[in-house]
């Protein structure tokens, strides 16, 4: 199978996350995408609600899509969530399948700050999602890119793996903006799945 690994804090998960995953799945003909809520992310350790809530909301958000799954691998670990450990785990589980790690272009450009980035680049192919207004040249000039292989595929330096650069339908919303809207007492209807909106209200999440 061709499997996408989609990690994130999902704090909260919103329609932008879901639409991006669906477009990635279709464009690269993936058999499924596994959503992995982060446990203790090393670079995002502020304003994050309890992992239990993030897991439940993510599960609710993807339940209607037969191509989406969720894993609590990082949530069950009592240590910092390093991507290298997560990928190593899933490569063991899916030894005969092709794995793709999904990320935004800004995250890709910050990859050098991650734990063991060179090993990550040798483990799996990457799928990088562009954002509105991003200059493709900045991506192509990244220290990780060796050369362009096809219209949307690039070879990674010092690795046999590739990175796929995809233009995705722009969503001008983020989890941080949603949290701000909630704190102002405004509606987040149509920014998240209705089940997520109801869950947030029921559990009084993201309030001051």
Check whether 42 has a pLDDT greater than 70.
no
> pLDDT tens, 83-136?
999 999 999 999 999 999 999 999 999 999 999 999 999 999 999 999 878 889
Residue 33 has pLDDT above 70, yes or no: yes
Closest by CA position to 172, among listed 200, 131, 206: 131
Instruction: Identify the pLDDT of residue 79.
Output: 78
So what's the pLDDT on residue 68? 98
At 43, the pLDDT band (50, 70, 90 cuts) reads low
Residue 181 and residue 188 in contact, taking contact as beta carbons nearer than 8 Å: yes
- Does 170 sit behind a cis peptide bond, omega within 30 degrees of 0 on the bond before it? no
Q: Cα dist. 108→13, 120, 122, 138, 201 in Å?
A: 20, 11, 14, 11, 34
Rounded mean pLDDT, 19-38: 97
The model's pTM: 0.94
pLDDT over 70, % of the chain:
97
Cα–Cα distance measured from residue 74 to residue 87, given in angstroms and rounded to the nearest whole number: 11
* pLDDT one-digit tens code per residue, 171-191: 889 999 999 999 999 999 999
Token pair recorded at residue 146: 């060796």
Residue ranges of the domains in the chain? 2-172
Could you tell me the fold of the domain covering 2-172? Rossmann fold (3.40.50)
Read off the pLDDT of residues 191-203 as tens digits, 9 standing for 90 and up: 999 999 999 999 9
Q: How far, in Å, are 17, 137, 142, 163 from residue 105 at the CA level?
A: 14, 12, 11, 11
pLDDT band at 170 (very low <50, low <70, confident <90, very high): confident
**Across the chain, what does the average pLDDT equal?**
93
**47 pLDDT above the threshold of 80:** no
């Amino acid at each position: 199978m061709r499997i996408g690994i989609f990690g994130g804090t999902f704090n909260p998960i919103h329609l932008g996350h879901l639409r991006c995953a669906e477009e990635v799945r279709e464009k690269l003909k993936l058999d499924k995408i596994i959503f992995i809520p982060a446990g203790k992310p090393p670079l995002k350790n502020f304003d994050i609600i309890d992992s239990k809530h993030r897991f439940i909301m993510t599960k609710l958000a993807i339940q209607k899509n037969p191509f989406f799954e969720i894993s609590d691998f990082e949530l069950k670990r009592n240590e910092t969530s390093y991507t290298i450990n997560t990928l190593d785990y899933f490569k063991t589980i899916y030894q005969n399948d092709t794995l793709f790690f999904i990320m935004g272009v800004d995250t890709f450009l910050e990859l050098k700050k991650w734990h063991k980035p060179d090993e990550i680049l040798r483990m799996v192919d990457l799928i990088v999602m562009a954002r509105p207004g991003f200059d493709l040249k900045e991506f192509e000039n990244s220290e990780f890119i060796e050369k362009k292989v096809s219209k949307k595929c690039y070879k990674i330096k010092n690795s046999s793996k590739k990175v796929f650069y995809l233009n995705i339908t722009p969503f001008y919303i983020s989890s941080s903006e949603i949290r701000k809207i909630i704190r102002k007492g405004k509606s987040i209807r149509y920014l998240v799945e209705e089940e997520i909106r109801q869950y947030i209200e029921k559990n009084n999440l993201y309030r001051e």
